[in-house]
Amino acid sequence: MFVSDRIKSMQESPIRKLVPLAEEAKSKGKKVYHLNIGQPDIKTPEEFFQNIKDFDEEVLSYSFSQGIPELIDSFIEYYKSYDVEFDKDDILVTNGGSEAILFSLLAVCDYGDEILIPEPFYTNYNGFSTSAGVKVVPITTKSEDGFALPSKSEIEELITGKTKAIMLSNPSNPTGKVYTKEEMDIIKDIAVENDIYIIADEVYREFVYDGLEYKSFAQMKEIEDRVILTDSISKRYSACGARIGCVASKNKQVTKEVLKLCQSRLCVATIEQVGAAGLIKVSKDYMQEAFKEYDKRRNLVFDALQDMEGVFCKKPRGAFYITAKLPVDNAEDFVRWLLTDYDINNETVMFAPAEGFYATEGMGRDEIRISYVLNEEDLNKAMNILKQALIEYNK
């Protein structure tokens, strides 16, 4: 039997495709430190579970396609803390940030249209683009430049009559890059001058280090009708399994059209929405502690990497990822080898090979993405394994 060409062309997730090797290693009793996936180990706030405990409907019925009012209100309140004022109909609850991105693409792109994305980029953007029939045109950024954007003119060279949006995550997954005011202004100007949208994936908004002030594209009032925020509670509240995100935009036509997509899939899981609505009650201390913890880990991992021969990365300022160059030809082979052939005291470590985060053939082949989502003790062990493994691998 046949399958579609588009689905055949879809890459397997570089974050998840080596999971079977990890499972095999574990079945043989090996411990695997998972630095391949952005799954925080921080506790999900009690407020989430408490709201669910208090849920006492007898019939678990469809909720509103747009999302339950309590959750929409809580998003509105949350954005107010970033000086962004949304109306009730500006926010549409989605199945995680994932669906928010898919819906945004469907709303502004027709089949065969193009979007610009700085690469390396969150690998699942590929999946959503394939599903939506949208061509990803990468804006190449490089490890040696700390993944800074190229010049305005270099970016504009990539724009064609089919370009409908620039999509980017800020802070960036997988690089940890936080775009500067100047870079954001370039993107803004390009969007205005070429009449395209900015799809801003800001799920790591809370994780900006070194005292940098965080800027959201939604705060740029002069372009509020061309900014579509895609957001998620997954990272900031360590609630990845809830699959609660949203599309938020001041562009009423976009939100009206996205609502049709929301209606076609009826609603988002009700109980997880109820839980998520409770998160607005979470204290600032929770966020502050998580922030401090990640900052410590960032320093730990970055310092450890500096101490490994042939490893290169600039210090990232945000999110909880570092994309680092390794002294190997093929990082995926190395990661496989870590899982199948290497251990220290029966322990090994798993990373995401970074090649899958690039759209340009061959780029990032010697890079890995490290998610620093484990506690210090585990991170220390994992970094030691990486260091020793590189020496062993290059013998």
Interactions with a copy of itself, residue window 88-117 (CB under 8 A) = 95-96, 98-99, 102, 106-111, 113
> What track of x and - describes contact with a copy of itself for positions 20 through 39 (by CB under 8 A)?
-----------------x-x
Name residue, tokens 């899958």. Answer: 356
Q: Residue 198 pairs with which residues in a beta bridge?
A: 166, 227
As a whole number of angstroms, the distance between CA 283 and CA 320 comes to: 21
Q: C-beta of 336: minimal distance to a copy of itself in Å? A: 18
Stretch that binds a copy of itself, among 25-33, 48-56, 145-153, 203-211 (CB under 8 A): 48-56
From candidates 28, 60, 341, 394, binder to a copy of itself by CB under 8 A: 60
Q: C-beta of 35: minimal distance to a copy of itself in Å? A: 15
Pick 60 or 344: Cβ nearer a copy of itself: 60
As a whole number of angstroms, the distance between CA 111 and CA 105 comes to: 10
User: Residues 341 to 380: which contact a copy of itself by CB under 8 A?
Assistant: none
From candidates 27, 29, 61, 81, binder to a copy of itself by CB under 8 A: 61
Pick 58 or 285: Cβ nearer a copy of itself: 58
As a whole number of angstroms, the distance between CA 45 and CA 232 comes to: 15
From candidates 21, 70, 73, 133, binder to a copy of itself by CB under 8 A: 133
Q: Which one, of 23, 34, 24, lies nearest residue 348 by Cα?
A: 34
From candidates 24, 26, 41, 192, binder to a copy of itself by CB under 8 A: 41
Pick 132 or 305: Cβ nearer a copy of itself: 132
Query: Would you mind telling me the total number of residues written for the chain in this entry?
Result: 395
Q: Do the Cβ atoms of 242 and 279 come closer than 8 Å? A: no
From candidates 36, 51, 74, 126, binder to a copy of itself by CB under 8 A: 126
For residue 74, the Cα-to-chain-centroid distance in whole angstroms is: 22
Q: Determine the size of the site formed for a copy of itself (CB under 8 A).
A: 79
User: Residues 271 to 290: which contact a copy of itself by CB under 8 A?
Assistant: 271-272, 275
Beta strand pairing status for 31-34 and 91-95? Answer: unpaired
As a whole number of angstroms, the distance between CA 263 and CA 133 comes to: 21
Stretch that binds a copy of itself, among 71-79, 123-131, 301-309, 319-327 (CB under 8 A): 123-131
The identity of residue 180, as a single letter, is T
From candidates 22, 36, 47, 48, binder to a copy of itself by CB under 8 A: 48
Pick 51 or 323: Cβ nearer a copy of itself: 51
Q: Do the Cβ atoms of 330 and 366 come closer than 8 Å? A: yes
Q: Do the Cβ atoms of 96 and 244 come closer than 8 Å? A: yes
Sign of the dihedral through C-alpha 64, 68, 73, 76: negative
Pick 9 or 151: Cβ nearer a copy of itself: 9
Stretch that binds a copy of itself, among 124-132, 153-161, 207-215, 306-314 (CB under 8 A): 124-132
As a whole number of angstroms, the distance between CA 386 and CA 379 comes to: 10
Pick 115 or 338: Cβ nearer a copy of itself: 115
Q: Which H or E element spans position 300?
A: helix 284-306
Q: Which 3 state secondary structure label does DSSP give 53? A: helix
Q: C-beta of 394: minimal distance to a copy of itself in Å? A: 32
138 part of the interface to a copy of itself, by CB under 8 A: no
Q: Which one, of 48, 103, 57, 104, lies nearest residue 238 by Cα?
A: 48
As a whole number of angstroms, the distance between CA 115 and CA 160 comes to: 10
Stretch that binds a copy of itself, among 57-65, 209-217, 332-340, 342-350 (CB under 8 A): 57-65
Q: Which one, of 276, 206, 262, lies nearest residue 235 by Cα?
A: 206
- Cβ-Cβ contacts under 8 Å for 378 (sequence gap 6 or more): 33
User: Residues 219 to 278: which contact a copy of itself by CB under 8 A?
Assistant: 225-226, 238-244, 251, 253-254, 257-258, 260-261, 263-272, 275
Pick 99 or 332: Cβ nearer a copy of itself: 99
